[in-house]
Structure 1
Amino acid sequence: MAEVESLLNPFVKIRRDLHKIPEIGFKEFKTQKYLLDYLSTLPQDRFELETWETGIFVKIIGKNPKKVIGYRADIDGLPIKEQTGLPFCSEHDNYMHACGHDFHMSIALGVLHYLVFTPIDDHVLFIFQPAEEGPGGAEPMLKSEPMKKWMPDIIIALHIAPEYPVGTIALKEGLLFANTSELFIELKGKGGHAAYPHETNDMVVAACSLVGQLQSIVSRNVNPLDSAVVTIGKISGGSVQNIIAETARLEGTIRTLNEDSMVKVKTRIEQLLEGIIVGYACEGSIDYGSMYHQVFNEEELTREFIEFAKKEPGIQVYSCKEAMTGEDFGYMLKEIPGFMFWLGVNSTYGLHHAKLNPDEKAIEKAIKLLTNYIRYKGSNE
């Protein structure tokens, strides 16, 4: 295995190293150390570095800077038990890079490496962001001191796309990813013996009723020309088969393609919960958990990038539709002009799947594309 790895593109090897050590949001301690160790091998006079929580800011110093170009890569993994069978699979039980952030990091390091040794006119700020999968690192990172000091004038990011072949990218102007919010609902009634239901307030029954009502929101409270999703992915309640449940918990997600619809959906959820509280004589509460702002690609920069990418050898550009996926990069795009694009990686299994296995040939293609674009964008001649 060591002999084979020695022949790999160094950034493929980096991806494999990172794939072994997935960590969840704000606990990416090994990941941060790995990145810092790599950065320590580069000429230290060519960049400035600051850490923030488990994230890292790296500013490549430009030769004749007039602006700062930002590039963001997320670094956290997911609480998923890997089932790929790969020789470099996760060494952390029940955690996996199932969303491709190992790819995102290795690609960012590849571009950074090149720019350190071949500087351009403008500064380039690399942002290695923790906690994209939750509870959300982009919004607090925007407010951090390093970000305020080195605030980019434009910002770029990518996300792997299993459904597209290697050598392709996909994007569009305007809305790319949805507004998203977690949803947690707690119900508390009165438990008791299964033989005496009339003396209880059964929260399993209340929860089932609420789930059915929640599914009416999209069909009856959202404009048919808009798009929204309300999904309950987990229900828990009760303790044993012959005791009526005193409590129940619903866990889910809300996704909308505009901010107004998110407000309307949440308002309706709260109204339905009030009805359950009255109808089942119980207590109820809502927690929206992590909320992500929509990813909205700035039109002019996106058009420019599309035209640039079309001229790059070995790259095919697809025009895609907006997706209901969520990405906290949307918070950065809310404050800084920029764009995100999908990178084709040709995997049979999709994002967040235990068998996701992206094609590593996409790493070199992404490094070349982004390096060339940042060089083009950062030239002041």
Structure 2
Amino acid sequence: MKTLVNIRRDLHRIPELGFQEYKTQAYLLSYLHSLPQENIEIRKWKTGLFVKLNGTSSQKMIGYRADIDGLPIEEETGYSYRSVHEGMMHACGHDLHMTIALGILTHFVHHRVKNDLLFIFQPAEEGPGGAEPMMHSEAMKEWKPDLITALHIAPELPSGTVATKPGLLFANTSELFIDLKGKGGHAAYPHTTNDMVVAACSLVSQLQSIVARNVDPLDSAVITIGKITGGTVQNIIAENSRLEGTIRTLSTESMLKVKERIEAIVKGLEIGYSCQASIDYGAMYHQVYNHEEVTLEFMNFVQEHTDADFALSKEAMTGEDFGYMLADIPGFMFWLGAGSSFGLHHSKLSPDEKCMETAISVMTKYLAFKDDR
């Protein structure tokens, strides 16, 4: 059987975008079918998988989720096992996430516990979002866990570190797309046009006032416009422009307030610049909120019963659609130190593969501990 490192490298070669993870699903199924099948049930869900390990005398079910999709990033790691899919990369560590899940699953195939274990290989975490629709699937309705856990690699933390906190861990996030339509024309006759490049520039400035003047200073919010497109050539005034960005808040109330203000500002822009505007919020992710009692239990367990180095996290403005699962099922997510000089979503992300051993050791011990509770 292949080593975990070999599995991770195989998966690293074949990153696929959300709901296109066909090779990834096939690879996972091939591995799963190589294991003893007596106590395994497998169900496909779109390009993801539910894998249930039946316990010896189940009283409850514990879930473990791993995301499986890649990102539209051209890899620049220099790995001998770099991505074979042009313009795509596992730049968020999901190749490690899957491998860790397989390692934990394999352990419990050979070391059965009383309770059922459900491993969820979730597609489309990076977009358009797989967790929320997966929660509404027939498999989840039948196999809904009593507790659910997940991890995410943290390149900035040393390998071998586990970090988390009770309460808010990841922010509420929403994509933001604003399209503006005015009237184009010759650059020499600006008075006969409604210039959407000028309108877009004005809108960017106005959007930045929302966080400064409409969000409680004791709360936190971010509005970032990462891309602006508009116009055709240098001597034609632009009839159309498009702004693409992201909204991130530490409370659901602030997310609602930010969106209300965006919509009000855009309505004002339509009047002021004699244009038409449309807003699309794209993918929206619920905050990752760790349930206090079970998270504190896990934190104490890591410090008292494992060799991992524990660190107390701070909340982050990153987004994770695992929040939809935690909104309905008690549980927690934690950071796994991966010791890379380059961060998440970077074309040179190079996590220390030894971190997988830490995660598998911690989680196999913890799930065995929960089996006696």
**TM class, shorter-length:** over 0.9
Q: 2:279 aligns with which of 286, 303, 314?
A: 286
Assess if the C-alpha contact under 8 Å between 1:99 and 1:352 holds in 2.
Answer: yes
- Alignment of 1:270 with 2:258, yes or no, is no
- Superposed displacement of residue 340, structure 1: 0.1
Check if 1:34 corresponds to 2:24: no
Q: Provide the rounded CA distance (Å) in 1 between the counterparts of 2:11 and 2:56.
A: 32
Q: Which residue pairs with 1:3 in the alignment?
A: none
- Aligned counterparts of 1:112 and 1:311: Cα–Cα separation in 2: 23
Deviates more, 1:180-189 or 1:310-319: 310-319
Match of 2:64 among 71, 75, 88: 71
Aligned residue among 233, 236, 249 for 2:242: 249
- 1:225 paired with 2:227, answer no
Partner of 2:158: 165
Deviations 1:87-128 (A, max 9, x none): 011000000000000000000000000101111000000000
The answer as to 2:111 corresponding to 1:118 is yes
Note the residue ranges of structure 1 that are not aligned, 5 or more in a row.
Answer: 1-5
Mapped partners of 1:77, 1:203: distance in 2: 34
* Rounded Cα–Cα distance in structure 1 between residues aligned with 2:306 and 2:162: 13
Offset at residue 316 of structure 1 (A): 1.0
In the alignment, which of 40, 62, 85 is matched to residue 92 of structure 1? 85
In structure 2, C-alpha distance between the alignment counterparts of 1:87 and 1:312, rounded to whole Å: 37
Number of equivalences: 373
Residues 8-34 of structure 1 show CA distances to partners (whole Å, capped at 9, x for unaligned) of x81111000000000000000000000
Counterpart code for 1:233: G
Describe the superposition over 1:353-380 as per-residue Cα deviations: whole angstroms up to 9, x where unpaired. Answer: 0000000000111111101101111236
Cα separation, 1, equivalents of 2:371 and 2:88: 38
CA distance in 2, matches of 1:363, 1:94: 26
Which residue of the partner structure matches residue 352 of structure 1? 345
Structure 1 residue 312, shift from structure 2 partner? 3.4
Query: 1:329 aligns to what?
Result: 322
Instruction: Name the aligned partner's letter for residue 296 of structure 2.
Output: R
Q: Deviations 1:290-325 (Å, cap 9, x if unpaired)?
A: 000000000000000001100234211101110000
Paired residue for 1:136?
129
Question: Which amino acid is 2:112 matched to?
Answer: P
2:302 equivalent to 1:309: yes
Instruction: Please give the alpha-carbon distance, in whole angstroms, between the structure 1 residues aligned to 2:162 and 2:155.
Output: 11
Deviations 1:253-291 (A, max 9, x none): 000000000000000000000111000000000000000
1:202 is aligned, of 186, 195, 201, to: 195
1:343 to 336, 351, 359: 336
Is the counterpart of residue 103 in structure 1 residue 96 in structure 2? yes
Structure-2 separation of matches of 1:227 and 1:16: 38
Q: Secondary structure at the match of 1:108?
A: helix
Cα separation, 1, equivalents of 2:293 and 2:196: 52
CA distance in 1, matches of 2:311, 2:358: 16
Contact 1:69 1:378 (C-alpha < 8 Å) held by counterparts:
no
The reply on whether 1:373 has 2:338 as its aligned counterpart is no
User: Which residue of 1 is the match for residue 75 of structure 2?
Assistant: 82
2:180 pairs with 1:182: no
Counterpart pick for 2:311 among 292, 297, 318: 318
Residues 1:212 and 2:205 aligned together: yes
**2: distance between equivalents of 1:307 and 1:152?**
22
Partner Cα distance (1:147, 1:195) in 2? 62
Q: Secondary structure at the match of 2:368?
A: helix
| Displacement of 1:332 | 0.1
CA distance in 2, matches of 1:64, 1:19: 37
Q: Which amino acid aligns with 1:330?
A: G
Q: What letter matches 1:30 in structure 2?
A: K
Moved over 4 A (4+): none
Q: Secondary structure at the match of 1:96?
A: coil
CA contact (8 A) 1:237 1:248 kept: yes
Provide structure 2 residue ranges, at least 5 long, that are not aligned to the other structure: none
